[in-house]
Amino acid sequence: MSGREHHYEVTVNWTGNTGNGTAKYFDYGRDHDITAPGKPLIKGSADPAFLGQKERWNPEELLLASLSECHMLTYLALCARERIVVTAYEDAATGTMTEEAGNSGRFTEVVLSPVVTVTDPEKAERAAELHHDANQACFIARSVNFPVLHKPETRIAA
């Protein structure tokens, strides 16, 4: 399977032109729509700190969601391969972005905090260890230039 390529396409359409384009920095909207064939529309904007609308998704949240989602999907696959039955998974992910000189900035870290419920108490330790393996295999985590840390909690199903 090595060397296979996967290609992805989305369309981002700026919808924030209030009539004068970007003639004035504070006068245009940051709203945009993200689409892909056959998928629901995502309403995007900038972070409110950068004049966006808080009720819309911003790129920083979508990056965080991508890391969390990729880790979860990789982790669940690893558990299934090792016959560890997961019955619940929830992650309250957090990310830190630091602004820098020159109107720029970057993420400095992301912390994933998955709470995972497994059925077999004897497999709970291995289930916890698989978060490390999932991080090493996650396509998105392997593509970013900042640490993706983990604070997992493993629970046993009642």
Residues 35 and 106 in one domain: no
pLDDT > 90? residue 3: no
Q: Which two tokens stand for residue 10?
A: 């989305």
Residues 99 and 145 in one domain: yes
Mean pLDDT of 133-145: 97
Question: What pLDDT digit, counting tens, does each position of 61-88 carry?
Answer: 999 999 999 999 999 999 999 999 999 9
- Counting beta carbons within 10 angstroms of the beta carbon of residue 131, is it exposed (0 to 12), middle (13 to 18) or buried (19 or more)? buried
pLDDT > 90? residue 102: no
Rounded Cα gap, residues 147 and 20, in angstroms = 41
Q: Give the count of domains, the chain.
A: 2
Residues 32 and 91 in one domain: no
CB of 137 closer than 8 Å to CB of 74: yes
- Give the pLDDT confidence score for residue 130 in this predicted structure: 98
Range of the domain at 68: 59-156
pLDDT > 90? residue 141: yes
Question: What pLDDT digit, counting tens, does each position of 38-59 carry?
Answer: 999 999 999 999 999 999 999 9
> Is 6 within a domain?
no
Residues 132 and 87 in one domain: yes
Residues 38 and 108 in one domain: no
Residues 109 and 145 in one domain: yes
Beta partners for 32? 14, 44
Residue 1 pLDDT grade (very low, low, confident, very high; cuts 50, 70, 90): low
> Is 5 within a domain?
no
